[in-house]
Amino acid sequence: MLYLRYRGISFICNNYIKIQWDVEMVLHFFSKVKKYAENTIRFSICYICPIIHTKTMKNS
């Protein structure tokens, strides 16, 4: 299970394939691209992971 938090949005990804690279570092890297990153990151995560559950966390 892959769990990461981005801008108050938590992504829970159940994937058969283990992701080697650190997603948090990738998000931090692309976060500098701002708006472009927001759409790209969401699309990338959905593309990589067949199943995604998104929840909004009130407490960070």
Would you mind telling me the total number of residues written for the chain in this entry?
60
pLDDT at 32: 58
Q: What average pLDDT does the chain have? A: 49
The answer to whether 46 and 52 are in contact (CB under 8 A) is yes
Listed ranges 3-7, 9-13, 32-36, 53-57; the one with the highest mean pLDDT: 32-36
- pTM, two decimals, is 0.17
pLDDT at 21 over 50: no
Hey, what amino acid is at 56? T
Q: Where does the pLDDT of residue 54 fall: very low under 50, low under 70, confident under 90, or very high at 90 and above?
A: very low
The pair of three-digit structure tokens given for residue 50, joined into one six-digit string: 């067949």
Q: Assess contact for 8 and 57: CB atoms under 8 A.
A: yes
The three-state secondary structure class of 10 is strand
